[in-house]
């Protein structure tokens, strides 16, 4: 992933930034809340050796526009559909991390004909538990506290910690680096506003309020892979095990010692796992009649 791979397109009057590298079957990488396409930088070069890799900055994140608008899962899913249409990509293997996992599931639900495979990485939307930090962001008045958390001293704390660890021969964990990048992204008032709107669309003070568990059976005929770090403190690994039970024919890969960003904790294993999954599965073929039969079979 390089600066030269960064491109921008205008959709519905709003600039959307994305990286696109490689050639082959399309792989769409969807980042999490407060992150951006750069969260995938440790795996994109290796993936680009085999695939047409597309990694956008969702609206409200990274270098994309941050308008007053729809920051729901459905809104994000529609934005991804529009991006693929604009790039003339008919379908892709969709890989979603954290919030991006919830977006990926919503995308598969709204636009099933555009999903060849579904990959959920430490995904949101699979249970109520979520970190206290994200729950606190939904409290009344959170928008007035965020400027303090995003102040220059705190934004620099993660980078400072990484520098200190580097001097003694250690590497900051992927979670520390990911959180530091998240705080850094909140230095902009428009980004903070988008963050609060996004968080409140899926979370309340009690936890995640959007749960896809009751519709996971619809993935029965979509090749699905679930990847989780067994030391995830943001979203518990139990959500991955539960999703695996609810998704017929899905695969589950647990990364020992990894946290919320397993693709950055162990990039080589992540790339190998994703490559093996794609190589050993056939793209899903959307069948409206099949979906209807599945839904009727699961009537309560």
Name the more confident of 76 and 1: 76
Report the CATH number at residue 286.
3.40.50.1820
Residue 211 in contact with residue 235, Cβ under 8 Å? no
Name the more confident of 162 and 278: 278
pTM: 0.89
Flag the least confident range among 21-25, 120-124, 195-199: 195-199
- Of these residues, 35, 36, 64, 98, which one is catalytic? 98
The burial of 60, by beta-carbon neighbours within 10 Å (0-12 exposed, 13-18 middle, 19 or more buried), is given as buried
Name the more confident of 80 and 214: 80
19 is catalytic: no
260 is catalytic: yes
- Of these residues, 57, 232, 265, 266, which one is catalytic? 232
Residue 148 lies in a domain: no
**What percentage of the chain exceeds 90 in pLDDT?**
60
**Count: domains in the chain:** 1
Give residue 65's domain range. 3-129+208-297
For the record, the structure tokens of 118 come out as 């579904």
- How far apart are alpha carbons 151 and 86 in whole angstroms? 37
78 is catalytic: no
Is pLDDT above 50 for 164?
no
At 276, is the pLDDT very low, low, confident or very high (cuts 50, 70, 90)?
very high
- Of these residues, 31, 61, 197, 260, which one is catalytic? 260
Residue 239 lies in a domain: yes
For the record, the structure tokens of 83 come out as 């991006």
Residue 202 lies in a domain: no
The whole-number average pLDDT for the span 16-33 is 97
Supply the pLDDT for residue 294: 79
Phi, psi at residue 44, to the nearest 5°? -65, -45
């Amino acid at each position: 992933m390089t600066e030269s791979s960064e491109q921008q397109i205008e959709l519905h009057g709003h600039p959307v930034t994305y990286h696109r590298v490689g050639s082959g079957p399309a792989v769409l990488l969807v980042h999490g809340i407060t992150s951006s396409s750069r969260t995938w930088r440790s795996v994109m070069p290796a993936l680009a050796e085999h695939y047409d890799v597309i990694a956008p900055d969702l609206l409200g994140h990274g270098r994309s526009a941050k308008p007053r608008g729809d920051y729901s899962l459905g809104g994000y899913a529609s934005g991804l559909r529009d991006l693929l249409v604009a790039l003339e990509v008919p379908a892709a293997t969709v890989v979603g991390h954290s919030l991006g996992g919830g977006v990926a599931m919503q995308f598969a639900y709204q636009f099933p004909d555009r999903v060849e495979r579904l990959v959920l990485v430490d995904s949101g939307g699979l249970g109520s538990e979520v970190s206290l930090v994200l729950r606190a962001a939904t409290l009344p008045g959170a928008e007035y506290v965020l400027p303090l958390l995003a102040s220059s001293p705190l934004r620099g704390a993660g980078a400072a910690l990484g520098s200190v660890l580097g001097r003694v021969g250690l590497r900051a964990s992927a979670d520390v680096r990911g959180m530091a990048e998240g705080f850094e992204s909140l230095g902009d008032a428009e980004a903070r506003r988008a963050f609060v709107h996004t968080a409140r669309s899926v979370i309340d003070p009690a936890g995640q309020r959007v749960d896809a568990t009751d519709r996971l059976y619809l993935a029965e005929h979509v090749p699905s892979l679930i990847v989780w770090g067994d030391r995830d403190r943001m979203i518990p690994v139990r959500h991955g095990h539960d999703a695996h039970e609810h998704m017929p024919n899905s695969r589950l890969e647990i990364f020992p010692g990894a946290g919320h960003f397993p693709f950055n904790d162990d990039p080589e294993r992540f790339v190998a796992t994703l490559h093996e999954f794609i190589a050993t599965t056939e793209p899903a073929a959307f069948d409206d009649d099949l979906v209807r039969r599945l839904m009727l079979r699961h009537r309560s």
